[in-house]
Structure 1
Amino acid sequence: MKTDFLMRSLMFVPAHNERLMNSAVKSNADVLLLDIEDSVLPKENKQVARDMIFKYVTNGIFKNRIIFPRVNDRESGELLKDVHQLTIDGIAGFMYPKSQKGEDVYFFGKLLETIEHEKNIPIGTFKIIPLIETAGAVMNIQEICMACPNRVIAVAFGCEDFVTDLGGQHDKEGKSLFTARNMIAMGARATGVVPIDTVHINVHDLEDLERNLIISKKLGYEGMMILNPKELALCHKYYSPSEEQVEWAEEILELAVEAQKEGKGVAIKGNKFIGPPMVKMAKDILAKNELIRMKNISF
């Protein structure tokens, strides 16, 4: 499903940690993934995290921010408490971990639907970003993307759990992740869902982050999950249209409009035909540029 959310950077924030929550308020991450899952231990801190998110959101501290808490999985015994407390105004949706197959996401979508109905919230209000963390999930990527057509707006790759499940090893060149990254991006794009790339584990190695961002962009990813605010500048640079791209897109659309007015099927630029794929690309570039402009105004 098409989304109007800007998702160049999705930053994890352990939601039980007040210092990090306050820091997140000041960051310019596009999406804040307020974590109730892996980074929140011991188990008693999960209720602290829920309460902290509820307080920050209802008090307007995260006003105009895109908030997606990462909830606990369906086997944890915590999921119902997560979503029942946090299906509130100011929460855009939830990152759903350990999404193995389509029925996992369908189950979560139905749980949200039940709670929306109970709270008199319009059905479909809360969106879902499934987290792809196993070899099975990679193989089931299209099924996962299509499980809740009105809710699943993006899928994200969780590399650490994937490598463990695969029985593989991390390598400097990223060869162990390349096939999965490629399959997730293609599966997402094939179903109209936004692909979000895995975190960059070596948060202090910005040179390696840049290398991965170049690969990520070439593979078709729209954004990346991040662990540290120092990664934001590079993420935004690579997932934002350049000035040259914006100028190119504007010119393409102008030429396409002129050709249409003149009754021509196609326009020509530099001896190249401007067909529907180029027009679509130009529209996508300008739409993303407008989302960035609107965010800069409101931030």
Structure 2
Amino acid sequence: MTSGGAWLVVAVPCALVGAASFGMAGAVQQRATKQVPDTRTLNPRLLLELVRKPIWVASVLTVIIGLSLQVVALAFGPLMLVQPLLVTSVLFGALYAAWMSGRRLDRIVMAGALTCMAGLSAFLLLARPSGAGDGVIERRTLPLAIALGVVFLLCMLAASSFPGEIRVIALALGTGVLYGITAALMKVVTGQIRMGGIGEPFQHWVLYVVCVIGPFGFLLNQNAFQQGKLVSLVLAVITTVDPLVGVAIGIFWFGEHTVSTPAVLTGEALAGVAIIGGIAMLAHRGEYLRQEAERTTPGNPPGEIHGDDPARS
């Protein structure tokens, strides 16, 4: 089978089914985090509380399925092809959340999710990645690693300084950075397996970094779900930042290339505006629903406020 055939037959379906798994897991986890006490950011006690809930444990298994499919997709397709497909988890998450709450999907939530999906897909499709893309780190990693570290620290600072949806966006942004790095390093691990067998990754530092960054990203993801009103907002930010980090790593670490003509750059700028607009729509709707819930049920604990439930007028 040609490389292009493998992308179509293996990588694309695996990425889409993986996105559906992530969306379902996100909707379940967001609801479960509302039913346990609030914890500080990156406090492992949150996981100790959540692990007592069977539905949350089942959602973790769904995440594992999604990650497994992502690994397969990355093994057969380039990073900048697989990651854009995973953005469909935003729509899947919104649909699952509405279904679980027994309500129709909020039109503003749907519009925001679709806007984010369209903007990010257009941005990455316009880039038209080419080059190595085989998961071999070809260049120095330190400058980009420092930049990503600074972004992550700023996210944590913002999350501790601002309330409401700004805090949620900061937590989700930090999660997206960690997930993007993890996905890129997973690409390296899959390349090592294909070249040297199942034992090859254990001889390199990449696997051990994944084992540290991945769990931190997962815990931060649960913090974002717990603090957010809309699962769609959290998923939109994560699935936007994750592939954009992947693009940066693909270019600076893997030696991949993107099209950079004036027309393409203009299209990417417009796609970026669409992404920001979609996230802004979700953030505004999330804050509105949060305030509406507080007005209608001022004494309710966090566990009684469910995500992606449209407010009644």
| TM-score over 0.5 (shorter chain) | no
**Normalized per residue, which structure has more helix?**
2
**Normalized per residue, which structure has more strand?**
1
Q: Which has the higher contact order (CA 8 A, sep 6+)?
A: 2
State TM-score, norm by structure 1.
0.26
State TM-score, norm by structure 2.
0.25
